[in-house]
Amino acid sequence: MAEDDNKTNSAPQKEIGKKFCSNCGAQIDEKAVICPKCGVPQSVVGIAIGEKKNKTTAALLALFLGGIGIHKLYLKRSNWWIYLVFCWTLIPALIAFVEAVQLFMMSESDFDRQYNTTK
């Protein structure tokens, strides 16, 4: 009986892999772009829709074009030009290879925390 009283007084609990719609408050899949109940577009907290960086894209750019700093440009880092200035030494290519491995090994949540937050 006491358990039933606690359940009715508590706020709805968010299930794993779910989030609440920013408009109607319905519980939806955490990767949903549009709420199926009200049709309102959803966004990641602090990030406008369409601006989210992709971990795989960043890692592939680092692997294939990292010697000239394209992955840093994609991730909107201010030091990308250093790679371009020193590309003739091949040192940026080696650094970019290590960064590509790091990006491939990084979890999605760590990547989002580091690169998909507003500053």
Q: By the 8 A CB rule, do 27 and 35 touch?
A: no
pLDDT at 110 over 90: yes
Residue 107 has what pLDDT? 94
Is the confidence at residue 23, as pLDDT, over 60?
A: yes
Predicted pLDDT at 21: 80
pLDDT at 52: 87
Report d(CA 81, CA 69) in Å as an integer: 7
How much is the average pLDDT of 33-60? 78
Looking at residue 8, its pLDDT comes to 52
Give residue-wise pLDDT tens across range 61-108.
999 999 999 999 999 999 999 999 999 999 999 999 999 999 999 999
Cα–Cα nearest to 108, from 59, 65, 51, 40: 59
Question: Mean per-residue pLDDT for 40-51?
Answer: 63
Residues, the chain: 119
Instruction: Output the CA angle 96-103-95, nearest 5 degrees.
Output: 15
Radius of gyration over alpha carbons of the chain, in Å? 20
Q: Are 45 and 38 in contact (CB under 8 A)?
A: no
> pLDDT band at residue 44, thresholds of 50, 70 and 90?
low
